[in-house]
């Protein structure tokens, strides 16, 4: 069970979001900056995401009438502007996902701010607006990330894992919703095989790999919660895997009472309930620590 289930709109039993992190080949360039430019296999494995995976995904969403969320590094947006245009043209959301997939915990605070704001400027230039949401590359948000999001007026983060359903994070500087991901419905563990950046995973069959995400859905549905897929177009957008997803989506939409929406809308809906006094949101107070915990 969930202690404080959110009363979803129109009696829906579960809010659902498929979120795609469109990393493309940013992953190899940040991991192997000296020679990534001439590593054609990882470049092409990444390029498949925006050029082949995303059009396929958008086609399904159009057919099923879904609007969803995508997170893109700024570098990737500049490199694949037609992908940005296609996503926006269909009415989907694009969230902030770093500049070139740099890990915030691996760089200095000034470098983190510079990369964050560089990506922000690209969002404004290419989408005509500030992004409302953010996902840290490899989920590695730190306190400075949360501070930057609050400073720049973001509505939500989607990197942290303190609950099953959206919750509120409060700091001395302000507040921010969290749309919590988890590895249980992330496609990286079952599908990413990427020796060049340190992942040597046994690749699962499409139905087996996606079963983890779908079992997460069943538990959230039963509890009246929030289900989110954290997937990558270059992994789950591939032909055989997306075929499994399409069939699952068709079945869920036909047989269950679900609300699929972009994270931006789900968070705005929760915020509306809170503002109207109709829902008591669980709150986490940050920072958790201000220095090393071990003496
Ligand atoms: Zn990513």
Distance 84 CA to ligand 1 centre (A): 16
Per-residue tokens: 191 = 């599908």
pLDDT in 10s for each residue of the chain, 295 residues: 999 999 999 999 999 999 999 999 999 999 999 999 999 999 999 999 999 999 999 999 999 999 999 999 999 999 999 999 999 999 999 999 999 999 999 999 999 999 999 999 999 999 999 999 999 999 999 999 999 999 999 999 999 999 999 999 999 999 999 999 999 999 999 999 998 888 888 899 999 999 999 999 999 999 999 999 999 999 999 999 999 999 999 999 999 999 999 999 999 999 999 999 999 999 999 999 999 999 8
Rounded to an integer, what distance in angstroms lies between the CA atom of residue 7 and that of residue 257? 13
pTM (2 d.p.): 0.98
Q: How far is the CA of 288 from the centre of ligand 1 (A)?
A: 25
The alpha carbon of 101 and the centre of ligand 1 are apart by a number of angstroms equal to 6
In the DSSP assignment, the letter for residue 174 is E
Judge contact between 5 and 165, C-beta under 8 A. Answer: yes
Distance 85 CA to ligand 1 centre (A): 19
Please check whether residue 213 is in contact with residue 185, taking contact to mean a CB–CB distance below 8 angstroms: yes
Using the mean position of ligand 1's atoms as its centre, give its distance from the Cα of residue 214 in Å: 21
Among 241, 198, 235, CA closest to 23:
235
Q: How far is the CA of 290 from the centre of ligand 1 (A)?
A: 27
DSSP conformational letter for 226 = E
Distance from the CA of 10 to the center of ligand 1, in angstroms?
Answer: 33
Q: How far is the CA of 99 from the centre of ligand 1 (A)?
A: 11
| Cα(103) to centroid(ligand 1), Å | 10
Instruction: Please state, in angstroms and rounded to a whole number, the distance separating the CA atoms of residues 18 and 258.
Output: 13
CA 142 to ligand 1 centroid distance, Å: 16
Buried b (16+ CB within 10 A) or exposed e, 219-236: ebbebbbbbbbbbbbbbb
Domains of the chain with bracketed CATH? 14-285 (3.20.20.370)
């Amino acid at each position: 069970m969930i202690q404080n289930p959110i009363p979803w709109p129109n009696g829906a039993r579960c809010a659902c979001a498929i979120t795609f992190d469109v990393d493309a080949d940013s992953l190899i360039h940040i991991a192997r900056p000296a020679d990534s430019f001439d590593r054609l296999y990882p470049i092409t494995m990444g390029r498949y995401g925006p050029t082949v995976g995303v059009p396929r995904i958008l086609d399904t969403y159009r057919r099923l009438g879904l609007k969803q969320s995508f997170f893109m590094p700024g570098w990737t947006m500049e490199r694949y502007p037609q992908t940005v245009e296609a996503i926006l043209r269909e009415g989907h959301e694009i969230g902030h996902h770093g500049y070139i997939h740099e890990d915030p915990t691996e760089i200095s605070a000034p470098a983190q701010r510079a990369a964050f704001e560089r990506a922000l400027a690209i969002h404004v230039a290419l989408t005509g607006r500030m992004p409302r949401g953010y996902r840290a590359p490899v989920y590695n948000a730190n306190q400075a990330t949360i501070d930057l999001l609050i400073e720049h007026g973001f509505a939500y983060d989607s990197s942290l894992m303190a609950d099953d359903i959206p919750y509120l994070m409060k700091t001395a500087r302000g507040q921010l919703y969290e749309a919590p991901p988890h590895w249980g419905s992330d496609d990286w563990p079952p599908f990413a095989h990427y020796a060049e950046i340190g992942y040597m995973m046994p690749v699962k069959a499409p139905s087996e790999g996606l079963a983890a995400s779908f079992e997460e859905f069943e538990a959230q549905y039963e509890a009246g919660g929030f289900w989110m897929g954290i997937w990558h177009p270059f992994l789950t957008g591939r032909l055989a895997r997306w075929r499994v997803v399409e069939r699952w989506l068709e079945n869920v939409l036909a047989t269950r009472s679900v609300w699929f929406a972009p994270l931006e809308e789900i968070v705005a809906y929760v915020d509306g309930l809170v503002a109207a006094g109709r829902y008591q949101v669980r709150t986490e107070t940050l920072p958790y620590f201000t220095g090393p915990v071990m003496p």
